[in-house]
Amino acid sequence: MPTLGFGTLIPDAAETITATRDALEAGFRHFDCAERYRNEREVGIALEAGTASQGISRDEIFVTTKLWNTNHRAERVEPAFEASLDRLRIKYLDLYLIHTPFAFQPGDDPYPRDQDGNVIYDREVTLLDTWRAMETLVDHGKCRAIGLSDIGLDELKLLHESARIKPAVVQVESHPYLPETELLEFCKRHEIVFLAFAPLGHGMKPGLLEDPVIAAIATRVGKTPAQVLLAWAVQRGTAVLTTPRSVTRARENFDISPLSEDALGEINRIQTRRRLNSVVQTGVPGFIPQASSKGSAA
């Protein structure tokens, strides 16, 4: 899996197409998608056109997508997987993730709620049931690897013990304000790729991009704060997702270079702790960017 991935959580359809095409052109070969982002069709269009015009073959790109919470029941997994493949215009998936460990009431509403506004969870299916159905997809040969997203260490340990096919990747929020060191150590010990999202703190302001330690290192080494944050993530042994929405930022985020041990140490000593996404506790994403306003919660 290419270490630097392009995340496709982009609310606007037209922007999804241009940003995905620009990312491909800037050198990104790893594309992170999800049924929940409701733009797999646009990503598929951009990848099909971009790979054809640049002479890039299917096996040179790495495509991930995710099973949404309302599709956790075993009989819903394969249809959801096939629908994603169809929308993405590809014949196999490199990686399929369970988007969150929370099962919601099955159906077409992605956020089923009761009359008091509480999410309706599905208590009839366990994470292991869903995992078994994911394993079957690998057996059938249309999915090369499976993994989990928004999972905590305790639940990961339990699933890892019972899994016939071990999780290949764990995708979680991680940045200098949320280093998730214990989870990272577990992943390294078990050869699971730790894939960090929100490496730039979702670009929220004030936030990581203006952190004084990050800004000072960026000035010193002649890089941007975004490049410093991405380099830190890669050097500590994680893969990373970022969502540049312009060609300039796509090139910037792809062009990172190693930091000195001193700089890494300075970042590791940052004391601020902040989780931006409560999805790991509820299954409901705490942050979905809106087309018109940056940083609003959903």
Ligand X SMILES: NC(=O)c1ccc[n+]([C@@H]2O[C@H](COP(=O)([O-])OP(=O)(O)OC[C@H]3O[C@@H](n4cnc5c(N)ncnc54)[C@H](OP(=O)(O)O)[C@@H]3O)[C@@H](O)[C@H]2O)c1
Angle of helix 247-254 versus helix 13-26 axis, rounded to 10: 40
CB of 55 to ligand X, least distance (A): 26
Identified binder of ligand X from the candidate list 226, 231, 233, 259, rule CB under 6 A: 226
Q: How far apart are CA 116 and CA 47, in angstroms?
A: 41
Q: Helix, strand, or coil here: 7?
A: strand
**Can residue 143 be called a binding residue for ligand X (CB under 6 A)?**
no
C-alpha span between 247 and 85 (Å, rounded): 26
From candidates 9, 103, 217, 267, binder to ligand X by CB under 6 A:
9
Out of 80, 198, 233, 284, the residue judged to bind ligand X by CB under 6 A: 198
Residue 124 or 255: the one with the smaller Cβ distance to ligand X is: 255
Q: How far is the CB of 177 from ligand X (least distance, A)?
A: 11
Report the distance separating Cα 135 and Cα 55, nearest Å.
33
The answer to whether 170 touches 156, Cβ cutoff 8 Å, is yes
Minimum gap (Å) between residue 115 Cβ and ligand X: 27
Q: Is residue 68 a contact point for ligand X (CB under 6 A)? A: no
Sign, CA dihedral 135-138-140-142, equals: positive
How far apart (Å, rounded) are the C-alpha atoms in residues 200 and 292? Answer: 20
Q: Residue 262 or residue 279: which is nearer to ligand X going by CB? A: 279
Answer yes or no: are the C-beta atoms of 30 and 62 closer than 8 Å. Answer: yes
- Note whether 29 binds ligand X by CB under 6 A: no
Q: Does residue number 245 form part of the binding site for ligand X (CB under 6 A)?
A: yes
- The yes or no reply on residue 241 touching ligand X (CB under 6 A) is yes
**DSSP symbol at 4:** E
Q: Which of 20, 70, 71, 242 binds ligand X (CB under 6 A)?
A: 242
d(Cα 217, Cα 229) in Å, to the nearest integer? 10
Closest residue (Cβ) to ligand X? 7
Sites of contact with ligand X (CB under 6 A): 7-9, 32, 149-150, 171, 197-203, 209, 224, 226, 241-246, 249, 252-253, 277, 279, 285, 294
